[in-house]
Amino acid sequence: ESLEALVRQGIAADIANTSGSLVTTGHFPPIYQYLFQHEPQALESTRWILLAKDYLRFKLTGKIGTEICDATGTHLIAMPEQQWSSDLCTLLDVPQEKLPEIGLSSSVAGEISSEAARETGLRTGTPVVYGGGDSHCALLGLGVTGSAELGMLLGTNSTLRASFQGFIRSSGDYIVWKQQHVVPERFTVSASSMAGSSVLSWFKTHFCREFSANDEVQAYQELEASAAVIKPGCDGLLFHPYLHGERSPFYNPNARGSFLATAYWHTKGHFVRSIMEGVAFSIANCFDVLQDIASQRNERIQTLRIAASGGGQSALWKQIISDVLALPIDIMQVEEPGCLGAALLAGVGVGIYQEIQDAVQCAVHLRSRTLPDATHTEIYEERRSVFNKTFQALEPILYQ
């Protein structure tokens, strides 16, 4: 409702043009506009407008503040500027005096107060560093800190986020989002599909009742084994993984999943592999956008980094994604890259590391690499074309 109003009034376009990033559902502008229209008294009685982690930091330190990475995610900064934009605040009726000061992600924001120490058991005076957004900290934990470098979080969704030196001023008519990285002078572009490991979880839960709910690991191992014996292309079976709609590289919350060209010879293994391939195709569509943005800057993304957790635990799925993207995948020696990235920012803030790159060099390591199979890539190029054409044919009929 609020987003539709912002679009209808032309405000969403003005925000995107000024801030440098598109506005969609779940972003600050429509959420704020909803409160502004329906609960104005709550905003009037509010002294500070804070993000969740900034409120937690306030409770720990008694200090009000935010950091540049998440601050750019509010669409209240005209990137590459580093401070609140009075024009954007006026556009959204946000009182600028209620916004906190902005610090660097790796700088000290305050210290543990005596009250917080009593509540948490932490030592009074322990320094607290600003930190950053979860996926940006994960990029740092994966070592994605340079230019035209790419990381992926294959969890509930499939989030691809590329790092670039300097702000990306234009990127065509793509559904992507831009933010300041937690690394100074780096900006990120995100293309995030709603399809991820949640799709495989849905299939396991509803169609594989033989598996015990108490042994998730074994269940996924058996599903992967059943898919591993199926040839690339699934003997014609095709799957659109849009169970939750889609947001990038196209936006359609009404999109839905579908199995196509099902035949009598298709087994459970075919269905499992078609899910893995369908998610890989949606990831590839997002990747094409990011690679195109890199090429506009005379750069090229050479590899993809992922964590050794979530979908990154599946050797078969990693190989399928590598084959579909025709890109090497580096599996890093970390299971929780967001936690590692936050810890590295803290290490820089308290002086354990001189610079963020020093922290990455010391703590981020490669576990293994998956290389694409050229023969499989050729098969998947044709199958992805069919994947996209069939969805484009179905969309105006079923998903409007």
Residue 89 has pLDDT above 90, yes or no: yes
In the structure, what pLDDT confidence band is assigned to residue 155 with cuts at 50, 70 and 90? confident
Q: What is the Cα–Cα distance from 186 to 211, expressed in whole angstroms?
A: 45
Mean pLDDT, residues 234-253: 96
Report strand pairing: 66-67 vs 102-103. Answer: parallel
Tokens representing 42?
A: 């709550």
- Report pLDDT for 106: 98
pLDDT for 171 equals: 65
Q: Is 185 left (phi over 0), alpha (psi -120 to 50) or beta?
A: left
Q: What is the band of 240 on the pLDDT scale with cuts at 50, 70, 90?
A: very high
Full strand arrangement of the beta sheet holding 304-307: 177-180, 186-193, 158-165, 149-154, 304-307, 329-332, 366-370
311: nearest Cα among 281, 279, 270, 269: 279
Least Cα distance to 188 among 156, 228, 229, 159 occurs for: 159
The token duo for 390 is 């069939």
- Categorise residue 119: left if φ over 0, alpha if ψ from -120 to 50, beta otherwise: alpha
Which residue in this structure is represented by tokens 């495989």? 200
Residue 400: CB atoms within 10 A of its CB come to 8
Residue 9 CB neighbour total at 10 angstroms: 11
Specify the residue for token string 């949640």.
Answer: 198
pLDDT (0 to 100) of residue 5:
94
Tokens of 131: 């930190």
Question: Is the pLDDT score of 57 beyond 70?
Answer: yes
Asked whether residue 262 carries a pLDDT value surpassing 70, the answer given is yes
Q: For residues 118 and 358, give the distance between their C-alpha atoms in angstroms, rounded to a whole number.
A: 34
